[in-house]
Amino acid sequence: MPRRKRPRLISALPETTELLPQGRNLKGETLMSFEEFEAIKLSDYQGLEQAGAAAHMQVSRQTFGRILKLARFKTSQALVEGKRLIITGGCYTMRGRGQQRRRCGNK
């Protein structure tokens, strides 16, 4: 039996949780978790090194690297294939909210 997933620390939920391609027929959807979005935000948008971003999310650098790789793949898949990108779910804890545990799952 696999170990239970430990919630990852995120700073806030994204303001936009769905991106739609314009000018072409939708070819499906890609789901991205809130912690994958947080990894993209910390690394690519805010420019943090992986070690610093991993500390921010309270995960190991290797775990952060895996989360980031998956987030980048999902983003590129949505762009290249013209899919709707939906940011939802995951297993996370919100920063600054008394470390409340959120439900671990897709929704």
DSSP notation for the chain: -PPPPPPEEES---S--EE--SSS----EEEE-HHHHHHHIIIIIS---HHHHHHHHTS-HHHHHHHHHHHHHHHHHHHHHT-EEEE--BSEEETTTTTPBPP-B--
Whether 103 is covered by a domain: the verdict is: no
Q: How many domains does the chain have?
A: 1
Whether 63 is covered by a domain: the verdict is: yes
CB of 103 within 8 A of CB of 48? no
Q: What is the pLDDT along the chain (107 residues), one digit of tens a residue?
A: 777 778 899 998 999 999 988 877 778 999 999 999 999 999 999 999 999 999 999 999 999 999 999 999 999 999 999 999 999 988 888 877 555 556 576 54
Question: Domain containing 44: what range?
Answer: 8-94
Whether 54 is covered by a domain: the verdict is: yes
Whether 107 is covered by a domain: the verdict is: no
pTM equals: 0.85
**Residue 35 to residue 9: CA distance in whole angstroms:** 8
Amino acid at 97: R
Whether 84 is covered by a domain: the verdict is: yes
- Give me the pLDDT at residue 26, please: 77
- Give me the pLDDT at residue 97, please: 57
